[in-house]
Amino acid sequence: MPTAKKTTEKAPEKFLPKDLPKEITAASQTPNTEQNSYSHDVKTFLAWTGPGRPFRKRGKQFFLTAILIALLVEIILFLFSQYLLMLVVVSLVFLSFVMAIVAPRDFHYRISSEGITVEDHSYLWIELYDFYFKKRENIDILHVRTKALLPGELTMTLGEIDREHVKSILLAYLPYREVVKATFMEKSGDWLARNFPLEKT
């Protein structure tokens, strides 16, 4: 009987946890606000407003030369019964006239610690691939290529913004491509502009 009594008395102590704290202080009950709070401030490095594309006013010589070249091409295509190509030429001439007459509206650009924002469209740094610069109509243009197929590339006119300043900001997030190989369309356009200028500069 005494042995049975002894086992019944020690049985509750057997199931108690060994690392039971003796005292729980008030400091340990209150969470550490410095470690648990998450604060992330978005820093704007550069913000500016610029036209959506390079624009230069064209004179009468530009429009007259374009119409004469278009008429010559239309006659050649008509002789070969290429009616669909005739419509394509007319649409291209119309588009070039619209872009030469209508000035582009201004866009708001912003480079921040999270990415690049063009108007209401934001692109995170993980969505962007690399960047490079080009000059058109004596205006520096920033090209930022995206990893996704669409839009594929962001083009931002710098205007009065120094390209070296923009480069120093972007180098912390994106690789810089110093030499970019021109496409076939760009080479063809440059060749036509050099050899068959529509107006004298």
Does 68 reside within a domain?
A: yes
137 torsion bin: left (phi>0), alpha (psi -120 to 50), beta (else):
left
Model confidence pLDDT, tens digit, residues 121-165: 999 999 999 999 998 888 899 999 999 988 899 999 998 899 999
User: Does 92 fall in a domain?
Assistant: yes
Confidence (pLDDT) at 1? 47
Residue 70 structure tokens: 């278009």
Q: pTM for this one?
A: 0.69
Q: How confident is the model at residue 183 (pLDDT cuts 50, 70, 90)?
A: confident
Residue 24 lies in a domain: no
Between 11 and 133, residue with greater pLDDT: 133
Write down the pLDDT at residue 19: 52
Q: Which of 1, 121, 104, 125 is nearest to 55 (CA)?
A: 104
pLDDT band at 176 (very low <50, low <70, confident <90, very high): very high
* Interatomic CA distance for residues 72 and 85, integer angstroms: 13
The answer as to whether 33 is a domain residue is no
In CATH, what number is assigned to the domain containing residue 111? 2.30.29
Domain assignment present for residue 62? The answer is yes
Give the chain's mean pLDDT: 82
Say which DSSP state 176 is in: B
Q: Which domain holds residue 83?
A: 44-180
pLDDT at 27 over 80: no
Share of the chain above pLDDT 90, in %: 52
The structural domain count of the chain equals 1
Q: Identify the CA nearest to 139 among candidates 24, 54, 49.
A: 54
